């Protein structure tokens, strides 16, 4: 039997790798510069859900993709685009159930299944309509240190009490010998 791709193991390994590298995908900086912060979208504009959001965030962040749109090779071609030579696809998960009649009881049973498929970010594809590419015109700024009078006024008008915390200083561990 040929070496089969295990999508569940791939997802697990990817998340563990991101955690070990200190870059878990669910932690997004408030600078506006993290390319993968946009919710990933299918070619038709429908949002990815579940583990696919996390997986595509990791890849977009690592590769610096600005576009939230992801295409299969065929979808890219059908949209008038062409995946650039040498670009690597990302794996996403499709989960569903099949309904089948149980041979013994005659009752309908739902059989879950999972399969992986490959997608490319719009930033890896030439020739797509401009709507699929995110403009890089907006510069990143540190929203955590620059005051915004408009935002301050908005939040003050809500009447809620706002508390902020400082990032704790890293602790050092001393080895006793």
Q: At what angle do helices 7-20 and 51-63 cross, to 10 degrees?
A: 50
DSSP 137: -
pTM of the model: 0.62
Compute the average pLDDT of residues 42-48.
Answer: 95
Residue-wise pLDDT tens digits, 46-104? 999 988 998 898 888 888 898 999 999 999 999 999 999 999 999 999 989 999 999 99
More confident residue, 5 or 57: 57
Compute the average pLDDT of residues 7-18.
Answer: 78
- pLDDT, position 156: 82
| Positive or negative: CA dihedral 49, 94, 33, 43 | negative
Which of these, 58, 61, 41, lies nearest to 49 by C-alpha position? 41
- pLDDT, position 24: 65
| Positive or negative: CA dihedral 54, 59, 61, 67 | negative
**Which secondary structure element, helix H or strand E, spans residue 121, and what is its range?**
strand 108-121
* Helix (H/G/I), strand (E/B), else coil: 41: strand
Sequence-ordered list of residues with C-beta below 8 angstroms from that of 21, at least 6 positions apart, any chain: none
**What phi, psi does 155 have (nearest 5°)?**
-70, -35
- pLDDT, position 35: 45
Q: How confident is the model at residue 13 (pLDDT cuts 50, 70, 90)?
A: confident
- 59, 36 contact by CB (below 8 A): yes
Residue-wise pLDDT tens digits, 20-29? 877 666 665 5
pLDDT surpasses 90 at 114: no
Alpha-carbon distance of 2 to 152, in angstroms, equals 60
The secondary structure of 58-112 as a DSSP string is HHHHHHT----EEE-HHHHHHTT-EEPTTPPPEEEEEEEEEEEE-TTT--EEEEE
């Amino acid at each position: 039997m040929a070496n089969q791709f295990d999508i569940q193991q791939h997802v697990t390994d990817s998340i563990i790798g991101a955690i070990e590298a200190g870059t878990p995908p669910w932690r997004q900086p408030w600078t506006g510069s993290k390319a993968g912060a946009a919710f990933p979208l299918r070619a038709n504009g429908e949002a990815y859900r579940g583990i696919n959001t996390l997986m595509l965030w990791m890849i977009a962040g690592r590769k610096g993709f600005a576009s939230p749109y992801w295409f299969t090779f065929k979808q890219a071609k059908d949209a008038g685009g062409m995946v650039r030579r040498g670009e690597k696809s990302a794996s996403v998960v499709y989960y569903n159930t099949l309904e089948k009649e149980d041979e013994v009881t005659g009752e309908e049973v739902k059989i879950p299944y999972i399969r992986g498929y490959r997608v490319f970010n719009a930033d890896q594809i030439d020739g797509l309509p401009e709507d699929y590419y995110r403009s890089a015109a907006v510069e990143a700024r540190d929203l955590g240190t620059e005051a915004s009078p408009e935002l301050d006024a908005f939040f003050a008008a809500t009447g809620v009490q706002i508390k902020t915390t400082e990032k704790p200083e890293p602790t050092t561990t001393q080895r006793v010998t």
